[in-house]
Chains A and B, each alone.
Chain A
Amino acid sequence: MSAPTTDVRARISARTIVWLQGLAGLAGFAALLEIVPRSGLVSPLYLPPFSTIVVALYKEMMSAEFWTALSDTLEAWAIGLVISVVAGVVVGIAIGSSQALRALTHSTIEFLRPIPSVALIPLAVLLFGSQIQSTLILVVYASFWQVLIQVLYGVQDVDPVARETARSYGLGTWAQIRYVIWPTALPYLMTGIRLAAAVALILAITSEVAIDTQGLGKEIADTESGGAVAAMYAYVIVAGIIGVIVNLGARALERRVLSWHPSMRLDSAGARA
């Protein structure tokens, strides 16, 4: 009934409204953080006003220490994530391709998976102290399962007809993996990477808080015990922002990879949010 241009404009303005609402929420939150300490509801010793935190953040960002801590956290996160993804894919495809292996390993996986990786903290400390290897042990142990489980779902989802066809055409193992298994498992792998990325960050920071390895978590612990409360919150906010970036980035990556993928995958348990 109306020209397409008016339609597009309506759609854009609806999106803008959502954006503005979200912005309003964030602004309201910041305002709350400003008013509550100032009004004395909560002691400004425990919760400095938002403006004070921002100033502290600015100061921290001027220091080299901030950037070292940030890069330490990201380094541990990235290395741990890469290791777990590679390991998860390799083990996942190896196990998933064989009915026998899947049956044999199922119980072991279900036993090992719920074990919290923080249980390994004392061992890690004994072996590696506060070095990055401790963090990597925690990160890899936790993230590996996320990737593995999803890859197993993915390999299981492979169309058996496609596999039979590939085999009857004499395609070797490698070619089968490349042309049949990989495309089907890819969406699941993306979900696994998204979940693993979030878990990896949590464990990296956990290690820094609990074991004192270098990074944002350590800075938070140190500023807390040193009484630099505003700086502590500044680091907390940074940690949150990193978390948001990781989440958004992983989701964007997942969407990009899946946008062309004609996936009809079932929403396997835990795949959302």
Chain B
Amino acid sequence: MVRAATPMLEVNRLRKIYADSSRTVEAIRDVSFGVGQGELVCIVGPSGAGKTTLLKCIAGLLAPSSGEIVLEGQPVIEPPPAMAVVFQEYGRSLFPWMTVHDNVMLPLKHKKIDAGRREELVRDALAAVDLKGVEAAYPWQLSGGMQQRVAIARAVAYEPHVLLMDEPFAAVDAQTRADLEDLIRVLWRRLRVTVLFVTHDIDESVYLGQRVLVMSHAPTVIMEDVAIDLPDERTQLETRSMARFGELRKHIYSQIQLAKQGWRPPTE
């Protein structure tokens, strides 16, 4: 079900088992998919579906038990430079001893670019996420939504090819979440970056994605790769009240329910 000619990101037969001295837990059984360049793909699944595990494997933070991740033709064994991650716990993902400016700047320090360009990137990234005048503030002086914007700005300034987002809006209030969702779509279009967005919120996945990968709960497999044929221009009000939106949402929800009853798609 790969769309583009050469996928930007490929996940091949990923399997992840956690084992300690007493028992083993198969978090991910068999996951394979591809993401084309410039796509916005959402991964949705119930809690305990190994979504975070999957994302961490893709990000190179966790080693898979078997299978492989391929980014731009290269296998991923450690965090690759072309990828940036936005974590769910925004409060804990920003350095409290640095200002917003320094937080966004830090990952750029070791990139081979000159200081002027770095400043430009930081400034542009903060402007892109709609944050003005907070460069000298500390993260803990900002609201939750603003902190997450800083984390997104940091990822954007890094100029990644692939942006991974791990349930970034789960801990944010509904109104802020709506604004941030729209922000993601705007950024995605402008920067033409490939986005992999993990969430447990079905509505969010349908609203944001071009495709939605529906995960079962552990041991996780992909239930279905759903194409979202909603118009490209999306708004919270209009799009969510469309009939097609409701259909897609219902379909995904029923897939997840099927998974809970033990049904799995036939393996290829």
Chain A, interface size category, equals under 10
Contacts of B24 in A (CB 8 A): 1
CB distance from A264 to the nearest CB of B (A): 19
Closest to B218 in A: A1
Q: With A and B bound together, what is the CA distance between A9 and B21 in angstroms? A: 9
A7 pairs with B23, CB closer than 8 A: yes
Check B22 for interface membership: any CB of A closer than 8 A: yes
Main secondary structure of the interface of A (DSSP, over half): helix
Q: Using an 8 Å CB-CB cutoff, how does the interface string of B8-40 with A read, 1 for contact, 0 for none? A: 000000000000111111000000000000000
**Which chain B residues (125-160) contact chain A, with CB distance < 8 Å?**
none
Q: Using an 8 Å CB-CB cutoff, how does the interface string of A111-151 with B read, 1 for contact, 0 for none? A: 00000000000000000000000000000000000000000
Q: With A and B bound together, what is the CA distance between A58 and B3 in angstroms? A: 81
CB distance from B60 to the nearest CB of A (A): 27
CB distance from B191 to the nearest CB of A (A): 42
Q: With A and B bound together, what is the CA distance between A7 and B25 in angstroms? A: 13
Q: With A and B bound together, what is the CA distance between A22 and B27 in angstroms? A: 34
Closest to B26 in A: A1
B25 pairs with A10, CB closer than 8 A: no
Main secondary structure of the interface of B (DSSP, over half): loop
Q: With A and B bound together, what is the CA distance between A176 and B8 in angstroms? A: 69
CB distance from A266 to the nearest CB of B (A): 16
Contacts of A9 in B (CB 8 A): 22
A1 pairs with B21, CB closer than 8 A: no
Q: With A and B bound together, what is the CA distance between A7 and B21 in angstroms? A: 9
CB distance from A4 to the nearest CB of B (A): 10
Contacts of A6 in B (CB 8 A): 22-23
CB distance from A13 to the nearest CB of B (A): 6
Check A99 for interface membership: any CB of B closer than 8 A: no
Contacts of B25 in A (CB 8 A): 1
CB distance from B266 to the nearest CB of A (A): 25
A2 pairs with B23, CB closer than 8 A: yes
Residues on B close to A: CB < 8 A? 20-25
Residues on A close to B: CB < 8 A? 1-2, 6-7, 9-10, 13-14
13 residue pairs A–B, Cβ–Cβ below 8 Å: A1-B23, A1-B25, A2-B22, A2-B23, A6-B22, A6-B23, A7-B22, A7-B23, A10-B20, A10-B21, A10-B22, A13-B21, A14-B21
Give me the 10 closest cross-chain CB pairs, A-B, nearest first: A10-B22, A2-B23, A6-B22, A10-B21, A7-B22, A1-B23, A1-B25, A10-B20, A13-B21, A6-B23
